[in-house]
Structures are given as C-alpha cells and as structure tokens.
Amino acid sequence: MSNNTQPDITAQRPRYELLDGLRGVAAVLVIWYHFFEGFATSAVDQMINHGYLAVDFFFVLSGFVLGYAYDAPMRSHRLSTGSFIVRRIIRLQPLVVLSVLLGAAAYLLQGSVRWDGTPVPLHQVLTALLLGLFMIPVLPGAGAEVRGNGEMFPLNGPGWSLFFEYIGSIIYATVLYRLGRRALACITVAAALCLAYTAFGNMSGAYHLGVGWSMADYGFWGGFSRLVFSFSAGLLIQRYFKPRHIKGAFWLCSALLCAILACPYVGSSTEPSVLNAVYDIVCTIFIFPAIVWLGACGTTTDRTSTRLCNFLGSISYPVYIVHYPVMYLFYAWVWTGNRNFAEVWPVCAGLFVLIIFMAWCAMRFYDTPVRRYLTERLKKERTT
C-alpha cells in the first residue's frame, strides 16, 4: 500500500486521489469478506466470495503509485536504494507493530488456545509476537504457529500481504526501477503465466488465488506469483500511462470492484471448479489493471467526492492491517456458540463501525505522528 503522506522528494507531484479512494473501497470490502468467512464451510459457499482478490488489486496499486512517486528520483540517483527502503519501513512498519500487539492482546483474551482448544504456553505466544514485530513468517507446525491453521503471522493474519509488500519494495529498489518498458513487459508476461499456473494448477485446492497467507504447500509460490505479476503490471501501466479525462471514474471503478469481490464462487455451488480459476485470472490480469488505469484518469470534481476519497484513502491501510484481531475474537464467539449470520448481523454492523473508528484513531493518533517523528528524525540525521 502506498504512502498517503509523500516524502519531500516527491511532494511536488500531485496525488491520485481516486486511487486512494479505491484502495479504501477494497479495504472496506475485505472487512465484510472476513465477516462472512466465519460462516463458510468451504471456499465454494463463502459469501463476498472473491474478497481475497483485493490483495491483488492492492499490489497493482502499489506498483503504479511507487513507480509514479519514485522512478524519477531513483533513476536520477537523488534517492538511494537504502533511503527508499527506510521510507517504506517508516510507511509500513508502525501499523504492523500496532496490529501485532493488538493481535497478541486478542489472542490472550481468547484464552491463549489454538482453534482446536489446545492450550498454548506463554513463551510460544511471545515468540509469535517477536516474529510478527519483525515480519518473520512462522512455519506451519512450529511452536509459534499458535492458532494451528498454518498462518504466516498467526497474531495478525493479513500481515502476510505486508510481508510480500516488503519483498516487492526490495525488488523494485534493486531491480525493477532500472528496467526499461520492454524488459518490464517481459517480466509482467512471464509473471502472468506463473500466476495462471498457480490458479489452473489448483494450488489452493479450490481453483482460486486466495493463497500466500501460509508457508505450507505452495503458499509462498502463490503469494510471490501474485505479488510479482500485480506489482509489475501496476508499474508497467504507470510507465505507459497518458491521462485521459473520464467522467465518473471513481463510481464506475468502485462499482466494478464491489461486483468483482462480491461475486459468488464461479462454476459450481457444491465443489471446486476450474471456471473459478478463469474468473480469478481474468480479473487479476486484465480487469484490475484496467480499473487502476481508469481510476488514474479520473479526478474528483466536488468537495464531497474529494473528502470521501481522502477519507477512504487515509483509513485504507489502517483498516486492512488492524481489523483482523477483532475478527479472531468474532470467530471464536461465533463458533463456540454455533451462531449463524441471521443471528449476529447486528453485531457485524456494530463491529464494522468499530473497526472504521479504530482505523481512524490508529491513523490519526498513532500512525501519522509516529511517521512524522521518524521522518523528521531521519532528516536531522542526514543534516548532521
């Protein structure tokens, strides 16, 4: 996810407010995807079924925005690889730390047990906490894999995509920014073929791209292939991008995102189908890059839409990274009481509002001031 407060070296460049807003729309949909995950018995009957594709959309956005902000200063050597990585750490890590701490608190509140009820010693929880703070993934079956379902980051599941975001930033800062458009296009095409292999090879077991959150089986391959294609595609779009005025781009793109992510499982209502792999690949390889291009072509034309996009953009990353500790407690409550959605939808509505409020508070009172402090500290160190 991109920085909402651009570094000084890129401060003179205008922001793509619509892209900020679209990131927020996708993040909000992820909340509801995860709510319904608590009532699913398989990937086939999961409601808001394709919410996992939001991560692929985020990666396309990252490629586009990072290329827009940093290609020129990186190529002109006004910004070094090390300085770029430090800026990415300042942007991403404060909320990673907060989310892991919240995840640890939620885990202890839940009773410090795995999903099957097995008690977990405190030292294993502390190990998971330490690994999560430094974005070190947990291997399946390890003691620190405290929930017992194979998550890379068992105290805050969505941390897996930030792990790959860091990998993408490193690859960009060492390789991708140097490449010309033709070489980048070749990488994007090769990555698209790898992504198709991930989907059609049924690495998820359900012919979908919802992989990468675990190191088990083909998890790392799946997450890496999703990152490399989407990030490279976003960067390639930016390299060729020539803006055209498209009226109503935000509403059009938002409607497309909602339709794509909420689409039911494709091809069958009872068992995995290769048609769903076709859907995921078409959306990821063709539609998401098109949405980013459309969003970059649009502009906000009134105060209301500008404020909406700014608000959605500002809370998008906090919403995504801090909401899952709430989900862990919600799942435990639903499953232990054998509750269904018809019974608990008012609770979901209340928690949705709470998550948005939590995200805003995290952004306003923690993330923004911490990043400002770290950025100023970095400037002082460079001038002394």
Least confident of 39-48, 50-59, 190-199: 39-48
Q: From CA 342, how far away is CA 339, in angstroms rounded? A: 8
DSSP 8-state class, residue 266 = S
Q: From CA 228, how far away is CA 60, in angstroms rounded? A: 10
For tokens 């770290």, name the residue. 374
Q: Which SS3 state, helix, strand or coil, does residue 213 take?
A: coil
Q: What is the pLDDT averaged over residues 224-250?
A: 95
Q: Which pLDDT does position 9 carry in this prediction?
A: 59
Query: DSSP alpha helices (H): ranges in 201-340?
Result: 219-240, 249-262, 274-282, 288-297, 303-322, 324-336
Q: Which pLDDT does position 156 carry in this prediction?
A: 98
Q: From CA 31, how far away is CA 317, in angstroms rounded? A: 12
pLDDT confidence band for 8 (50 / 70 / 90): low
Adjacent-strand bridge partners of 207: none
Measuring CA to CA, which residue among 301, 201, 202 is closest to residue 248?
A: 301
Q: Is the pLDDT of residue 383 over 90?
A: no
Q: Which pLDDT does position 381 carry in this prediction?
A: 80
Q: 214: which 2 tokens?
A: 């675990």
The mean pLDDT value of the chain amounts to 94
Q: Is the pLDDT of residue 1 over 70?
A: no
* Structural contact between residues 17 and 304, judged by C-beta atoms closer than 8 angstroms: no
* Structural contact between residues 211 and 204, judged by C-beta atoms closer than 8 angstroms: yes
What CA dihedral angle connects 80, 225, 265 and 40, to 10 degrees?
A: -80
Q: Which pLDDT does position 245 carry in this prediction?
A: 86
Q: From CA 100, how far away is CA 172, in angstroms rounded? A: 26
Q: From CA 314, how far away is CA 360, in angstroms rounded? A: 8
Q: From CA 19, how far away is CA 39, in angstroms rounded? A: 31
For tokens 């009226």, name the residue. 247
Q: Which pLDDT does position 2 carry in this prediction?
A: 41
Measuring CA to CA, which residue among 54, 65, 120, 122 is closest to residue 88?
A: 65
pLDDT confidence band for 56 (50 / 70 / 90): very high
pLDDT confidence band for 382 (50 / 70 / 90): confident
pLDDT confidence band for 103 (50 / 70 / 90): very high
pLDDT, one tens digit per residue, over 331-372 is: 999 999 999 999 999 999 999 999 999 999 999 999 999 999
Q: Is the pLDDT of residue 5 over 80?
A: no
pLDDT confidence band for 192 (50 / 70 / 90): very high
Q: 271: which 2 tokens?
A: 């068992």
Task: Give the amino acid at 106.
Answer: A
What is the CB neighbour count within 10 angstroms for residue 153?
28
Q: Is the pLDDT of residue 6 over 60?
A: no
Q: Is the pLDDT of residue 61 over 70?
A: yes
For tokens 């992504």, name the residue. 195
Q: CA-based angle 340:330:29, to the nearest 5?
A: 85
Task: Give the amino acid at 82.
Answer: G
Q: Which SS3 state, helix, strand or coil, does residue 119 take?
A: strand
* Structural contact between residues 283 and 266, judged by C-beta atoms closer than 8 angstroms: no
User: How would DSSP label each residue in 180-212?
Assistant: -HHHHHHHHHHHHHHHHHHHHTTTTSSSSS---
* Structural contact between residues 257 and 29, judged by C-beta atoms closer than 8 angstroms: yes
Burial class (CB in 10 A: 0-12, 13-18, 19+), 302: exposed
